[in-house]
Amino acid sequence: MNTSQQPTRSGSASSYSASRDSSNADGSLLNQAGKWLNKGSVGDLLGRMSTTQKVVGGALLAVGVAALLRGNKAGKATKAGSNAQTDTLNELLYFVNDRIEGYQRAVQESQDPQLSGYYKQLVSQSQQFANELNGYLRQQGGGRQEGTTVKGKLYRAWMDAKAALTGADEKAILGSNIYGEEWALKAYKEALSDNTLSGTLRQAVERQYQHSQNTYDRLKSMEGKQE
């Protein structure tokens, strides 16, 4: 899903060098962020880190997410061939699974019964979305996709670290959900715009996209009431 942008052969030597150095820098930062993420739970890790290390770790995660977002744009342009529809489904499912984990996290952290209840509904809705898309994937000979995006993992780890340092409140949880829903909407838009989906599958994705848009609108309305 994540690919590095390659320089064109027609570019100058200096352009190639700059692109290669940028790619190497992004890869190095992502590797460092990945090592930081895989060392253990966020709570345990924070207990072993100095304030400077916490700040550096957070910066690495932020830069890693930005690099992955750039990589995703480059990767979309290379997708082609007879398996394009399966590729689109797999990619969309990564973000739907991110949506599941994001709202599960919100359920665990929220202390507001009404908000927590709504987040539980969104977990269930996201699981239904994933089941539906996996059903279409199975019809095309693919295996069930239960993975999440690396950028989603990094973002949730960063939010966990932030909550551990500053505390989690309902406004912060809501803001995180809005950000996650924006990612989901972007994924649905890209899946519908690359012209690989057709028939009942496209209709299903369009329906899920509309539900996601409705969710985003409701979350934004809830945010406005908290201000």
Closest to 183 measured CA to CA, from 211, 149, 207, 206:
149
DSSP letter (8 states) at residue 82: T
Provide the pLDDT for residue 77.
Answer: 38
pLDDT at 57: 56
Task: Judge whether residue 10 has pLDDT over 70.
Answer: no
Q: Are 151 and 87 in contact (CB under 8 A)?
A: no
CATH number of the CATH domain containing 117:
1.20.1260.10
* pLDDT given at position 79: 46
The answer on pLDDT for 3 being more than 70 is: no
Q: Look at residue 121 in the predicted model and tell me its pLDDT.
A: 98
* Segments forming the whole domain that contains residue 155: 82-227
Rounded Cα distance between 58 and 173, Å, is: 18
* Domain annotation covers residue 42: yes
CB 222 within 8 A of CB 106: no
Residue that finishes a domain, picked among 57, 78, 99: 78
State how far the alpha carbon of 208 is from the alpha carbons of 45, 115, 153, 186, 215, in Å.
37, 22, 23, 12, 10
Q: In the predicted model, what is the mean pLDDT of residues 68-80?
A: 44
**Residue 215: how many other CB atoms lie within 10 Å:** 22
Report the pLDDT averaged over residues 135-152.
Answer: 90
For residues 70-93, give the mean pLDDT.
66
Q: C-alpha angle 80/86/91, rounded to 5°?
A: 90
Lowest mean pLDDT among 34-48, 149-163, 168-182, 191-205: 34-48
- The total number of structural domains that make up the chain: 2
| Tens digit of each residue's pLDDT (9 = 90 or more) over 22-73 | 444 444 444 555 554 454 444 555 555 555 455 445 555 554 555 454 444 4
Of 78, 93, 122, the last residue of a domain is 78
For residue 1, tell me if it sits in a domain.
no
Assigned token pair, 184: 């989901």
> Using the 8-state DSSP alphabet, how is residue 9 labeled?
T
Residue 3 lies inside a defined structural domain of this protein: no
